[in-house]
Amino acid sequence: GKWMYYVDDGLLVPNVTDKATLVHIARMVANAYQPTDSETWENLGDRWDAHDSFGWAEDGIRGHVFADADNTTVVVAIKGTSSTFFLGGGSETSARDKFNDNRLFSCCCAYVDFTWATVCDCHMSGSKCNATCLQDAMNDETSDNYFFAAAQIFMDVVTQYPRANIVFAGHSLGGAVAGLLGITFGLPAVGIEAPGDRMASKRLHLPVPPAGAAGRVPLFHVGHTADPVYMGVCSGRTSTCYYAGYAMESRCHNGQQLVFDTVAQRGWRVDMRHHRINEVIYLALEPWGITDPEERMPTLEPEDKDCVDCGLWKFVYEDSPQ
């Protein structure tokens, strides 16, 4: 449970390229899906403890707050989507999780075709979307947006641990929310198998760093190439996301990426089952470099500069000509 860190601009940042540190963070993230008395709780060792939990009495955002022995580092671990489709099992949060997935990661309110129920009313016609309406909908703090709920949780954590180094972490939807919090508050964040979060951050008007400065932000998106959600390929009528009613259309990530090439190096096929956090820990991260000594830890790289979200859509601002 001992982490490797480095100091960057006065921040204590976990070193996600150290495998032991990364796997330990992934275990915390897996625990965000379950209550502290669960039989499948991941052991974090003696140095770390779940000091606090949030959301377990409600049907919205959930997770735990972990702190090390002397409260110098505190991790806010945020649960991702609970759904039988995502194979983590459904829960009472499933409906709200899905609403947030479709709100944050779809091109236009989860309008995919006329058969879909949308999460806002910004679709105009064909592949035309009212961008002003979209931003207003995204920034409505009363609308069950997990980002605003998570920001409130962060405020509570800061009050409780005023001197601690705070790190955000999460898997899937939780990883994207962790990343959005990281760039909002300028703190380290680790997302594991998170969908692209750049589009949501722009719509929320968050302080996104310029393209050339991505490497200077302590925001890390960890994933592997056989996960369709992380790779941004779980969209369109032939995708599993489409059949389950998830409009996971975003591709581009903020910050830096640590990509494990399970397709080339393990021969895995792109499959929704590879998105599960337990599979990521036990089949991808933990054995990496052990069974095959040629497997090196990947290096951190910024998102491909040519990455585009929703390139086929036309976004119209209300004060501009149609």
Residue 56, classified by CB atoms within 10 Å of its CB into exposed (0-12), middle (13-18) or buried (19+), is middle
> CA angle, 285 as apex, 297 and 177 as ends, to 5°?
100
What pTM was computed for the model?
A: 0.94
The pLDDT score that the predictor gives to residue 73 is: 94
CA distance 61 to 59: 7
Catalytic residue list contains 201: no
DSSP 38-51: -TTPPP--TTEEEE
Q: What are the phi and psi torsion angles at 273 (to 5°)?
A: -65, -25
- For the chain of 322 residues, list the mean pLDDT of each consecutive stretch of 10: 85 94 97 93 91 87 93 94 63 84 94 86 94 92 86 95 96 97 96 97 87 79 97 89 89 96 95 94 95 88 92 86 50
The active-site residue, picked from 172, 201, 235, 250, is: 172
